[in-house]
């Protein structure tokens, strides 16, 4: 019976510092990525021109040499200091020009021409997860450099690309961004529903490209 442990530290400088440990056991554990089989995500690029025509239909340009092709992308930006993401967007790339269709989900694209979102083509990882059995899971982006500032997004899907759930990966510390869900401990499970057979992952760091790790502890009893 595999056991996972999560250690957390809570601190308010000048007032208090506390440490907490959570230990969970379940029938089985599954790992995608990690040190033994790293999953390197696609590169992220910032748009150097940007314009929104119809709602959630945008055009713009990338710097020459980007190496991108038409596909499904996630877009990242900020509005008034708030992180935004629109994911699963069909994108047509013609040399350095990009154009989206009115697709995807998440936040509406910004309307200001100086927004210059960062885009990243989704990396598809094949999984086999019964979300209803998950007791604990975490997802991590390992950028490999303490100067990295990136965040990411995961769209969990059925085999026909129907969404089951989605999560953001934020809060980067010393080059690693990680999010954990302790369902057994009372956290709402974002993975319930149909079996998850695919994960579509992206990030927004235009300097450091991360690897991805997903660890799931599940209990079928």
**DSSP for 51-117?**
EE-STT-EEEE--TT----SEEEEEEEEETTEEEEEEEEEEEEETTEEEE-S--EESPPP-STT---
Give CA–CA dist 24/47, Å, rounded.
Answer: 43
For 65-81, what is each residue's pLDDT tens digit? 999 999 999 999 999 89
| Together in a domain, 112 and 153 | no
For 80-91, what is each residue's pLDDT tens digit? 899 999 999 999
Residue 175: which CATH number? 2.60.120
| Together in a domain, 158 and 146 | yes
More confidently predicted of 21 and 107: 107
DSSP 8-state secondary structure symbol assigned to residue 171: -
Mean pLDDT of the chain: 92
Q: Give the position of tokens 């660890």.
A: 215
| Together in a domain, 128 and 159 | yes
Nearest to 171 by CA among 140, 135, 206: 140
- Asked which of 121, 156, 171 is the last residue of a domain, the reply is 121
Domain count, the chain: 2
| Together in a domain, 149 and 109 | no
| Together in a domain, 132 and 206 | yes
Instruction: Tell me the mean pLDDT in the region 161-174.
Output: 95
| Together in a domain, 129 and 198 | yes
| Together in a domain, 79 and 157 | no
| Together in a domain, 63 and 106 | yes
- Asked which of 70, 104, 121 is the last residue of a domain, the reply is 121
- Asked which of 57, 89, 121 is the last residue of a domain, the reply is 121
| Together in a domain, 202 and 142 | yes
| Together in a domain, 80 and 151 | no
Q: Could you tell me the pLDDT band of residue 11, with boundaries at 50, 70 and 90?
A: confident
Q: Give the position of tokens 């935004």.
A: 84
Domain span holding position 144 = 3-40+123-218
Nearest to 175 by CA among 134, 220, 139, 205: 205
Give CA–CA dist 201/216, Å, rounded.
Answer: 16
Burial (0-12, 13-18, 19+ Cβ within 10 Å), 186: exposed
């Amino acid at each position: 019976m595999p056991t996972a442990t999560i250690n957390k530290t809570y601190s308010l400088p000048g007032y208090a510092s506390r440490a907490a440990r959570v230990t969970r056991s379940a029938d089985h554990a599954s790992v995608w990525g990690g040190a033994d089989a790293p999953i390197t995500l696609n590169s992220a690029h910032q748009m150097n021109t940007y314009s929104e025509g119809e709602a959630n239909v945008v055009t713009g340009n990338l710097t020459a040499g980007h190496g991108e092709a038409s596909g499904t992308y996630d877009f990242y930006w900020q509005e008034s200091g708030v992180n935004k993401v629109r994911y699963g967007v069909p994108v047509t790339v013609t040399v350095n020009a990009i154009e989206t269709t009115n697709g995807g989900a998440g936040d509406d694209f910004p309307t200001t021409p100086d927004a210059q979102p960062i885009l990243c083509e989704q990396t598809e990882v094949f999984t086999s997860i019964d979300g209803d059995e998950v007791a604990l899971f975490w997802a991590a982006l390992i950028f490999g450099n303490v100067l990295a500032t990136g965040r990411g997004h995961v769209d969990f899907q059925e085999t026909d690309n129907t969404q089951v759930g989605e999560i953001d990966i934020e809060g980067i510390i010393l080059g690693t961004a990680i999010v954990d869900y302790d369902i057994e401990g009372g956290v709402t499970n974002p993975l319930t529903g149909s079996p998850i057979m695919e994960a579509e992952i992206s990030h927004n760091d235009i300097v450091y490209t991360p690897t991805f790790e997903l660890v799931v502890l599940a209990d079928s009893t």
